[in-house]
Amino acid sequence: MSAVAKSAPAVIVGTPPFDLARIRRDFPILDLTVNGRPLAYLDNAASAQMPRPVIDRLIQYETREHANIHRAVHYLSETATAAYEGARGKVRRFLNAREEREVIYTRGATEAINLVMHGYGRKFLTEGDEIIVSQLEHHSNIVPWQMLCGEKGCKLRVIPCDERGVLDLDAYGKLFNGHTRLVAITHVSNALGTINPVKDMIATAHAHGVPVLVDGAQAAPHLAVDVQDLDCDFYCFSAHKLCGPTGMGALYGKAGLLEKMQPFQGGGDMILSVTFEKTVYNVIPHKFEAGTPHIAGAVGLGATMDYLAAIGMDNIAAWEHALLSYATQQFETLDGVRIIGTAPEKAAVLSFEVKGVHPHDVGTMLNEEGVAVRTGHHCAQPVMQRFRVPATARASFAFYNTMAEVDQLVAGIRRVQQMFT
Ligand code: PMP
């Protein structure tokens, strides 16, 4: 089989709503060449790259500000504490949370979901209770709930999606019954890019008196998130998908719920007093931050929030949408390439199959062309099962990507097709 252009694509003349060349200069890694080609980094849904201001902020912290926090009166400890807590305020603004104490630092989205499972699920759910998730979830929003079901005798109910990757909201409404205790849904699917109508879904759950956790790992990097407007009960994300450090993330929770929850881990900093008879837990958010945290991670996350705010999340969303539209148009000119995930509302994720070529071979060949895409099940095996594929190749865009990189991807796919047919 050879690649044939079906028709000349309509060219979108994309003009980013910011100075893209200047932005790209902030990302030293984007200058790399890979296999003699300019790197086209299109694996942003797995992890985004870090800009110089965030790197510089980390260096500043490690060389001029580091000490343990909250526990000493000396200069460095106070400086580090101010940086750590200051970043919490930036996360609050980023999510538009009401109060800083509603922001808990975590290792990332995975730990945030596990925190809710332990802190809320293990305390409040009992045998026969039900948790609603969707068919689009990442494993990190399935497995913790399955663990809870195994421990407590609860049941997982699943919202199905259609052939486009759009959730069936009628089916969702019908899943509620007197046993439903929690809804845990992703805002944006990492495997398909579908943007779920979480605001409406939250309203439906609340009409049944059920709280909602939103996994924002793939949404926070691409959309303006307003937890008050969504009215979600929990929202989480990972810093490394937002151009920040790995091992860092945040959980937003409504203060009233967080206060009722049990701690996730015990240790230093999460207590007000300890005797062998009794421990009095600290107030939120500290109740959930046992031990010495990832202080540099929090500081780096704060710098990331500043960086993204300066560009503007709406500008980021607009440019990524232009990249996705252009890439989708280009893919439609390729015979033998199937896009998996065609929801009308999508973030900049393009999962695809090249007919007759295993996704891993697609990824390996694209790497020869300097193009970094992800191949595999994307930690979303139920999505793969739904679409009856073992794996896909996935290009995922960030605001620093260019139309030329889309062209490099498309040219790479044509070469893959030539090589394998
Ligand atoms: N949820 C979604 C939708 C994701 O895409 C990911 C990361 N691929 C996670 C959760 C988990 O994020 P992390 O590994 O950073 O905890």
Give the model confidence (pLDDT) of 257-295 as tens digits: 999 999 999 999 999 999 999 999 999 999 999 999 999
Percent of the chain with pLDDT over 70: 97
Instruction: Work out the pLDDT band at 71, boundaries 50, 70, 90.
Output: confident
Q: Measured in angstroms, how far is the CA atom of residue 140 from the centroid of ligand 1?
A: 7
Judge whether 394 lies within some domain. yes
Are 330 and 287 in the same domain? no
Write the CATH number for 265: 3.40.640.10
Confirm whether 12 is domain-assigned.
no
Q: How far is the CA of 341 from the centre of ligand 1 (A)?
A: 18
- Name the residue of 218, 234, 242 to mutate for ligand 1: max ligand atoms within 8 A of Cβ: 218
- In a domain? residue 9: no
Task: Give the position, in ligand 1's atom list, of the atom nearest the Cα of 379.
Answer: 8
Let me know whether 288 and 367 are in one domain: no
Q: What is the pLDDT of residues 323-373, one digit of tens each?
A: 999 999 999 999 999 999 999 999 999 999 999 999 999 999 999 999 999
CA distance 129 to 149: 9
Q: Residue 274 and residue 225: Cα distance in Å, rounded? A: 38
Q: Report the C-alpha gap between 359 and 376 in whole angstroms.
A: 7
Calculate how far, in angstroms, residue 110's C-alpha sits from the geometric centre of ligand 1: 6
Q: Is residue 194 part of a domain?
A: yes
Report residue 11's pLDDT band, with 50, 70 and 90 as the boundaries: very low
Label residue 366 exposed, middle or buried (CB < 10 Å: 0-12, 13-18, 19+): buried
- Give the structural domain span for 263: 54-310
Decide if pLDDT at 104 tops 70: yes
> What is the total count of domains within the chain?
2
Q: Are residues 270 and 386 in the same domain?
A: no
109 Cβ below 6 A of ligand 1: yes
Residue 217 beta carbon below 6 angstroms from any ligand 1 atom: yes
Q: Which of 283, 310, 337 is the last residue of a domain?
A: 310
> How close are the terminal C-alpha atoms of the chain, in Å?
5
105 with 289: CB under 8 angstroms?
A: yes
The CATH number linked to 353 is: 3.90.1150.10
User: What's the pTM value of the predicted model, to 2 decimals?
Assistant: 0.95
Residue 46 pLDDT more than 80?
Answer: yes
Same domain, 276 and 413: no
Q: Is the CB of 190 under 6 A from ligand 1?
A: yes
Same domain, 299 and 327: no
Sequence-distant (≥ 6) Cβ neighbours of residue 280 within 8 angstroms? 271, 272, 273, 274
Q: Which of the listed residues 291, 310, 329 is the one where a domain comes to its end?
A: 310
Q: Are residues 216 and 91 in the same domain?
A: yes
Relative to the CA of 137, which ligand 1 atom is closest?
3
**Given this model, what pLDDT does residue 276 score?**
97
Report pLDDT digits (tens) over 118-148: 999 999 999 999 999 999 999 999 999 999 9
In a domain, 1, yes or no: no
Domain boundary among 268, 295, 310: 310
* 379 carries an active-site annotation: yes
Residues 248 and 321 grouped into a single domain: no
Same domain, 194 and 261: yes
Q: Are residues 273 and 367 in the same domain?
A: no
- Closest atom of ligand 1 to 110 CA is 16
Whether 91 and 187 map to the same domain: the answer is yes
